[in-house]
Chain A
Amino acid sequence: MTFDLKIDEPHPDHRADGLTQSVLGHDNDRPDGWLKVAGSATYAAEEQADDMLHGFLVRAPKVGAVSCPNLEQVRAMHGVRSVLRDRRMIRNAAQGTANEAPVQGVDQAAYVGQPIALVVADSFEQARHAAQALVVSVEEDDVPVLPDAVEPEEPEDKKTEIGDLDRAMSEAAFRIDAVYTTPSMVSAAMEPHAATAHWDGETLTLRGSLQMLKFNRNELADSVGLDPANVRVLAPYVGGGFGSKLGISADCVAAALAAMELGQPVRVVQHRRNVFEVNTRRSETRQHIRLAADAEGRLTGLGHEALVSNLPDEEFSEPVIQGSHFAYAAANRTLGMKIARIHRSAAGSVRAPGESVGVTAFEVAMDELAQAAGVDPVDLRVRNIPEKDPESGKPFSSHRLEAALRQGADAFGWSHRHATPRQQREGEWWIGTGMAAAFRVNMVIEAEARINLTRDGATVMSDMTDIGTGSYAIFGQIAAELLGLPLDRVEVQLGDTRFPPGSGSGGSFGAASTGTAVWLAGMEIRKQIADRLGCSEAELTLQDGMATYANKRASLRDLLSHEPITGHGHVEPGEAAEKVRQATFGAHFAEVAVSDVTGEVRVRRMLGSFAAGRILNPRTARSQCHGGMTWGIGMALTEELTHDRRDGHAVNRDLAGYHLPVNADVPPFEVHFVEELDDWAGPTQAKGIGELGICGAGASILNAVYNACGARVRDMPATPDRVLAALPS
């Protein structure tokens, strides 16, 4: 049997609050933490086999028709087992939820860095050496690589035109009309994309570094030409993803093809420099933002139009304006997207696609409006909170932005701030504070999970992944709470397509989607226990391994002595998505110091205040927020993937040239959760938290830079040269 749920209606019954095991919502260790500190969690490249072969990907150095004139000589090199130039190899990683093969082929390179061969050898060293010896000749195509070099697509379905923004601008008491830019950025997860493939003549088993296994299995099967039933994908531990591992990656397909050809296990690990090219980047953006406001700073009009890019034949485009559709009330609205088809590496989802860059730029514009109108930046946001979705007129499922803003401001000490820039100085440093609001759409996607309950405890199973997000922790807590078990009697098994298909990790939907499936599976078990005790599920109390109803009391060990119980949960998005606008909200506050000698910006402290429904585990949720806030530091100050103007190649494609925030860049953080239960989010009332922390975080820093020294930087990142150039003379 299965407990199915389509989320059509709100769940105001808050069942979790009536359960008594007291683990859900509590600050518990992540169970996988112990394996991770011991070094015994096994990642994609860490499976051992005596006959393991090693593959090394070879990249196209230019765009155009590819040939390898010395392929036969390389094939004859010591230890080399094969040089694969298979047309089934993929051009770049699949987009999230693609569910089919991405563009394939090795004869035509569409971007610099496209994998065009796999050299397989007995050892990693032999494979790498032979790969470096392979000559790649390219008959160069003259292709556009700059977003301005082409006439962009302007999809009608991404256009919103309400009222008359031009008129609102001309009649406004205060107006902002400016262009903001963000560069290409990358996920740069710590574990490079890697795969180990086994082929037994019928079944392909692949251990990969992947986020969404039910889709990845189909993408892999479609790529290599197998029935998905004969493909098994495993990813029990994933060394970070952030969107770059949503779709099947080039290493997986190449490793599978090599294993199928050679009949031996093959491991392919992308070199870090390939990781920067072969997997999707966050598109650069150019955002034209217009704000029209009345004398009190109330928006009468807003415009948000963005230019992004992608390769031909990629469906994804960075949804820059996603948050602007619902963030603020304004009667006159112009929103739209332009997509330039150019030959930089493929663009795709990177942590909070859309809002991460869209909200960040928009919140800088809002700061400019606050300054122009002489309104406190927090008050300005509060003044412009819409009562309902400003475009569709739908009610919000729950809207806690004002609470996030006010509580965050109090905790940060916002009231002590100087409203005028350049008021506080320490030696060569200007000190200032800034804030921004955070917005992120909330989603649920189809997911399944199973729980087996035996006399020894419960086992939760789903092909869901834990990419560092805390899936192991929160699913264990949900199951333990429902089944009345201590946490150490619940085991969570993830990352294997032999388990029921979960949501996968992406779009912050894991907790609310697969978490709800786990909840439903637990509910089905509760129902069966209640049947055995002769009561209804709601009358049943399960706690510390004991089942109680009225004066009946039995241990689960006794109840389950003969027959274990299985519960299977299945959730699907339903009419809720049509009936209400659902989102998560928050506020960022930052204090910075800016050197007016060097232009260097140091972030001194940050506070994030977030409303994301029920917080299932405050410790893992807080860590996710820390991650988002740190990415905000990177976006505001250091991260930029630079493309060569001639051929579009990624110039700084390693961790030496692409500057991630390191320990010394990250100040003390404070994270505050706003109390919220969103009844429309399903029976757990929980929403996603993994991406909210990045949305707008960078804007709070840029706004603090302005408050500190008067430099308004609209081109990210605010590197020292840009800050110096923007300083008032």
Chain B
Amino acid sequence: MKTSFTVNGSPFSLDIDPRVTLLDALRDHLNLTGSKKGCDHGRCGACTVLVDGRRINACLSLAVMHDGDEITTVEGLCKDGRSPLQSAFVRHDGMQCGYCTPGQLCSATAVFREIADGWPSHVSETLDGPYALTREELAERMSGNICRCSCYPGINAAILEIAEEDAGHAEAAE
């Protein structure tokens, strides 16, 4: 079956088995192995990618469902060098084995946008924002990404540091 989408800004056309998940298409057909397969049934978050800026579990989605979509994987989070978030993950040791890390990074990238867009979470006190990225909000919103090494303290510290930096920049711009 034919399908076309862009990944990290580059267009791709594939003629593939309709059973191929988006995750397997990325890993095996486009050689973008940064997105990880941890459970293949939507329970661990290691395969998290961004589709038109929103996070999804790529293992729960077929590649042919994404015709025309813009997909971003960990390889596309930064064009040259490393993004501030990636650097913060290294500084705070937000990874050990590293297998969940790409999913954590993609998820965190989406969380920033969800907060900015006023999307509530399970722990939000109201359904109509705005919301601040408190530790509680962050822990809730990142709980779809399991880290068995348990780097949650480092992951949270890295994300909160970037959130604060961004808030600082926004304030300075006002």
Q: Which residues of A contact B (CB under 8 A)?
A: 29-30, 32-43, 45-46, 48, 123-126, 129, 187-192, 237-242, 269, 271-272, 467-470, 619-620, 622-624, 626-627, 629-631, 654-656, 660-666, 668-669
Contact = CB atoms under 8 A, between A and B. Distances in A.
B97 A664 contact: no
Interface in B67-100: 73-75, 82, 86-87, 89-91, 93, 95-100
A272 B146 contact: no
Contacts of A664: 139-140, 142-143
A468 B154 CA distance: 14
B33 interface: yes
Contact of A124 (B28, B101, B146): B28
Contacts, number: 180
B143 A46 contact: no
Contact of A191 (B17, B36, B90, B150): B36
Given A37-B101, A272-B41, A240 B148 contact: yes
Contact of B139 (A239, A626, A663): A663
Nearest to A191: B99
Given A30-B90, A30-B93, A41 B149 contact: no
Nearest to B42: A656
A623 B148 contact: no
Contacts of B109: none
B10 interface: no
Most chain-B Cβ atoms within 10 A of its Cβ — which of A32, A190, A623?
A190
Most chain-A Cβ atoms within 10 A of its Cβ — which of B40, B87, B147?
B147
Contacts of A126: 17
21 contacts: A32-B98, A33-B90, A36-B101, A37-B89, A37-B90, A37-B95, A38-B86, A39-B75, A123-B17, A125-B17, A125-B19, A190-B100, A237-B97, A468-B96, A620-B93, A630-B150, A630-B152, A654-B39, A655-B146, A666-B139, A666-B153
Interface in B108-148: 135, 138-140, 142-148
A157 B129 CA distance: 65
Given A125-B20, A187-B148, A192-B37, 12 more contacts: A33-B98, A39-B35, A40-B75, A43-B99, A126-B17, A240-B148, A468-B98, A622-B93, A623-B149, A655-B146, A664-B142, A664-B143
A668 B152 CA distance: 9
A606 to B, nearest CB: 10
A353 B91 CA distance: 31
B149 A627 contact: yes
Contact of A190 (B34, B44, B89): B44
B153 A669 contact: yes
A33 B93 contact: yes
B148 A626 contact: no
Contact of A239 (B19, B36, B82, B105): B36
B90 A34 contact: yes
B13 interface: no
Nearest to B20: A125
Contacts of B93: 29-30, 33, 619-620, 622-623
A652 to B, nearest CB: 12
A693 to B, nearest CB: 9
A190 B97 contact: yes
A704 to B, nearest CB: 19
Contact of B96 (A627, A631, A655): A627
Interface in B141-174: 142-156
Contacts of A48: 28, 31, 33
B143 to A, nearest CB: 4
Contacts of A272: 38-41, 43-44
Interface residues of B, number: 58
B74 A39 contact: yes
Contacts of A661: 150
A517 B54 CA distance: 48
Most chain-A Cβ atoms within 10 A of its Cβ — which of B34, B96, B140?
B96
A663 B145 contact: yes
Contacts of B102: 37, 39
A662 B75 contact: no
Contacts of B33: 39, 42-43, 46, 48
Contacts of B155: 663
Given A33-B93, A190-B38, A654 B98 contact: no
B154 A40 contact: no
A125 B17 CA distance: 8
Nearest to B87: A37
B44 A240 contact: no
A238 B19 CA distance: 28
Contacts of A631: 150
A446 B31 CA distance: 38
A34 B74 CA distance: 12
Contacts of B153: 626, 666, 668-669
Give 6 nearest A-B pairs by CB, closest first. A39-B34, A239-B99, A36-B98, A468-B97, A468-B96, A630-B150
A125 B25 CA distance: 11
B66 interface: no
Given A46-B27, A239-B99, A620-B93, A626 B150 contact: yes
A52 B135 CA distance: 45
B81 to A, nearest CB: 10
Contacts of B28: 48, 124
Nearest to B76: A39
A240 B149 contact: yes
B68 to A, nearest CB: 23
A408 B89 CA distance: 28
Contacts of A41: 98
Contacts of B105: 37
A29 B91 contact: yes
Contacts of B34: 38-40
B82 A240 contact: no
A39 B151 CA distance: 17
A39 B96 contact: no
Contacts of B95: 33, 36-37, 468
Contacts of B35: 39
B46 interface: yes
A662 B151 CA distance: 10
B109 to A, nearest CB: 12
B151 A38 contact: no
B58 to A, nearest CB: 13
A29 B31 CA distance: 28
Most chain-A Cβ atoms within 10 A of its Cβ — which of B20, B46, B146?
B146
A274 B134 CA distance: 38
A470 B96 CA distance: 7
Contacts of B82: 34, 37-38
Contacts of A655: 38-39, 41, 43-44, 146
Contacts of A189: 97, 99, 148
A662 B105 CA distance: 16
A626 B99 CA distance: 17
B82 to A, nearest CB: 7
Contact of A38 (B37, B74, B152, B156): B74
